[in-house]
Structure 1
């Protein structure tokens, strides 16, 4: 129960930061247009915080989501040992959960130590979310394994 609950909460945070990253990219382009004397469109972005503010909040929330995703991996390994007698079995879902962990670890590392800010950081966050969606949709549905719905009759 804890493993799944924390995975869902972490996924919710990553969904939020994905949305913030998309808004950050849109707001960044809008702000650049305004600086060069262009139109301030789309108009709805007037209601959205600045690109820098979105990026900073996204980074902080991604850090919390990453800690929760790390706990998801650890709790999943403990559960796997209880259920299947092994901590790690290279199940497709396990591998993709680790891939997501590596992407977000790379995002946090690049942002904190390598100075990746702005659009590069936003794209890394978006890539992490794309891997998350792939894991919960394609991997669950089409790849056979212990976490899979593949092969279940419709």
Structure 2
């Protein structure tokens, strides 16, 4: 099989951004804070350029890998804003490496061409979905930081989380709640305006089923948190389960269509 590939300009932007992400991440211990921030800002701008070229360049495309790349960019954006208020957060290099990998993956699998006849509301629907992915991604990052810190405390070590556990927990569930609102809006838009967005009415397919299952999982998590005070490892496991179902909904179904079945939408 010959895979579709991104344009030379897209590759150039992606390679430059991936290098700007990966080089300081791999040399973080020997890098001054000021240089680290500059490198991340440059990578963020180049990443945005690669995304923009993929969506509005000479051959606009979108698919599972560009969705992952955009999710990584949004997660880094939220993290950078949050770090202004909580400079103790310590996950930027892990996020930078993931963003570099997602960028390169999006060049290998750039997705299917976007049709000029698509609804003008489709970009808004996609933006809602990707924003939802980004918020849940950053919630998972916070949950991972919280779990790691809790594990270190239980073993009598320095938690090394950079901030109190309760603060991490509050932030995690705030992102879950915000992501749940956007996920609800995305599903409602698909149900009510599916024909206008995609030229066909709402259908029960893999993407729909996994999306609804993830919505139910997050609803149970938020209800359990509000009514029964769910916290700790049990709550984190439910969060991971909901995030996995959401990942399977669009990214998983598109991966199967694009890579395994070699089909479009």
Instruction: Normalising by structure 1, report the TM-score.
Output: 0.80
Q: Which has the higher contact order (CA 8 A, sep 6+)?
A: 1
Task: List structure 1 runs of 4+ shifted beyond 3 angstroms.
Answer: none
Distance (whole Å) between structure 2 residues aligned to residue 151 and residue 119 of structure 1: 37
Q: Kindly indicate whether the alpha-carbon contact (under 8 Å) linking 2:135 and 2:179 is maintained by their aligned counterparts in 1.
A: yes
Which residue of structure 2 aligns with residue 49 of structure 1?
163
Count of matched residue pairs = 139
Correspondence 1:75 to 2:189: yes
Deviation of the 1:57 alpha carbon: 0.8
Structure 1 position 120 matched with structure 2 position 229: no
Alignment correspondent of 1:3: 125
Give 1:110's aligned residue: 224
Answering whether residue 250 of structure 2 is matched by residue 136 of structure 1, we say: yes
Tell me which structure has the larger Cα radius of gyration.
Answer: 2
Question: Per-residue displacement from partner, 1:67-102 (whole Å, max 9, x unpaired)?
Answer: 00000101112331324442x310211111111111
RMSD: 1.9
Structure 2: gaps (5+ residues): 1-122
Q: CA deviation at 1:32?
A: 2.3
Shift in Å, 1:51:
2.2
User: Which 10-residue stretch deviates more, 11-20 or 93-102?
Assistant: 93-102
Using the alignment, how far apart are the partners of 1:128 and 1:103 within structure 2?
5
Match of 1:101 in 2: 215
Deviates more, 1:127-136 or 1:66-75: 127-136
Q: Counterpart of 1:145?
A: none
In the TM superposition, residue 47 of structure 1 has moved relative to its aligned partner by: 4.7
Native 8 Å contact 1:92 1:139 kept in 2: yes
Question: What residue ranges of structure 1 are gaps of 5+ in the alignment?
Answer: 143-147
> Aligned-pair distance for 1:119?
1.3
Residue 11 to residue 30, structure 1, CA distance change in 2 (3 Å)? same
Indicate the residue corresponding to 1:23 in structure 2. 145
133 and 141 in structure 1: CA distance in 2 versus 1, 3 angstrom threshold: same
- Is 1:151 aligned with 2:265? no
Please name the residue that 2:136 is paired with. Answer: 14
CA distance in 1, matches of 2:251, 2:200: 26
Cα deviation code 1:103-129 (max 9, x no counterpart): 111111111112211111111111111
